[in-house]
Structure 1
Amino acid sequence: MSTDSSDVAARLDMTRPHPARRYDYWLGGKDNFQADRDAAEAIAAVFPHIRTAARENRAFMQRAVRHLAAEAGIRQFLDIGTGLPTADNVHDVAQRIAPESRIVYVDNDPLVLVHARALLNSSPEGATAYIDADARHPERILADPALRSTLDFSQPIALLMVAVLHFVEDHEDPWAVVRHLVDALPDGSYLVLSHATFDPLDAETIAAMDAVNKNIRPLFSPRPFADVARFFEGLDVLEPGIVSVSDWRPQPGPRPTPAEATGYGAVARTS
């Protein structure tokens, strides 16, 4: 992993919002700039539940990793669209259960690269690595030496694409991206995926969100259930299926409604 300061500085545009930094802001983090905060607040003005949605998506990821590590025996994780380091990242959750777990993180935000050392704080028994790459280019991720030196492709791997594919537009074919990655995984691997949706929202909220979205880049592309289900074609989707992220194997007690969480989540196994 290279963290050349001149390269990072050249790529770090503080005037343009980035999804990872906006997400960090909604989660209460401090690794964001005014442009990120302005975009985040513009969305929150028309959808006040956005912070709840961000927290619920994060909690879904943590429950999914916990299940795969504790119940399915998975010891390898490839997390694409990692975001800025915060409490209970993938390696924190997995290595708490199985210290020998190995994790590769992938993101394209130069600020995530700056803070990647926090993602590389592995247990002595396991390993972590970071790849500076874009989810739109799966072939580059799969060809990166850090991936092959950290993960053993003769053993099952959990691929995480959590809250990232709604930033890949239809013309960029996010379904082909997922297929490319899943096809490269060993048998018995898993896909953990969450995706924003407007399905549970009323027409007025959708119109307001669409109006805000026109002025924010990268374009935000929430998708209906049928389009999200396409990511899981040919895979064995675990119970309870493709559901609101809040409803995927939740902890006991009250939880947000699908209209507050505004995201589908599921875990599926390859053959």
Structure 2
Amino acid sequence: MAHQPVTIFHRFEIIDGVKIFYREAGPSDGPVVLLLHGFPTSSHMFRNLIPLLADGYRVIAPDYPGYGNSDAPAAATFRYSFAHVTEIVEALLSRIGARRYAMYVMDYGAPIGYRLAIRHPERVSALIVQNGNAYVEGLLDFWDPIKAYWAENTPERRAALARLVTLEMTIFQYTDGVSDVSRISPDNWIIDQALLDRPGNQDIQLDMLHDYGTNVPLYPDFQAFFRTYRPPTLIVWGKNDKIFPEAGAHPYLRDLPEAEVHILDTGHFALEDKLDVMAPLIRDFLDREVAS
């Protein structure tokens, strides 16, 4: 029997005067799966996963302010911080009635998701962690110039990181560590880079990179949430990622010893390369831990 096609809705809500875009699919009364994207992409990174979950789950994938199809107010007039983005995501979820959710967190989505979790731990039904850090062991060589920027917010330190928003770096994030690059659609970096190249967006990204440093002091709080609430957790991690390397995956087991861990032979944006491996793992996990 052929599978019923899934309709994905592309919606907007105005939150604190900012138009926030989100993708939504699945039954309105189904268990919620919240997909939180990384840098420098958007909910676009979940476009292939959403249809594979939406027959049984209400899947919600927002774009943060400054990313994807959400508004990108000028950095001079809008506070681009992980705390503020978390507040906006929380307000969006409240607006659309998502009161409990399993979270898929990746890259920037990890501290945003974990900030949500420590604010409202009772709302988190499960965690899916994909190259998203919560331990200092995961901040290795790639982060050295960024750590210098956290310590000394000078024009020179900031300018040194402008390379992180170039086309070369965007392509690198998608292709490095991938054995067969033909599995990766060039649409990814074409779309991401077009958005990065919008007037003023470089300042948005450099502000967010600086503010990432505010997440590190919260790592003990994130870890305390893991230990105290023990949410069912699936870790699917691209081991060749130089940004969030495999060293950041294993410390989760200190606080979540029952977590299921799958280390995959791929890079940063693992879904682009290993959807055929990851989607069955994710679906099986959700069906066991969330749907039942």
Q: Specify the TM-score bucket, using the shorter chain as the normaliser.
A: under 0.3
**Normalising by structure 2, what TM-score?**
0.26
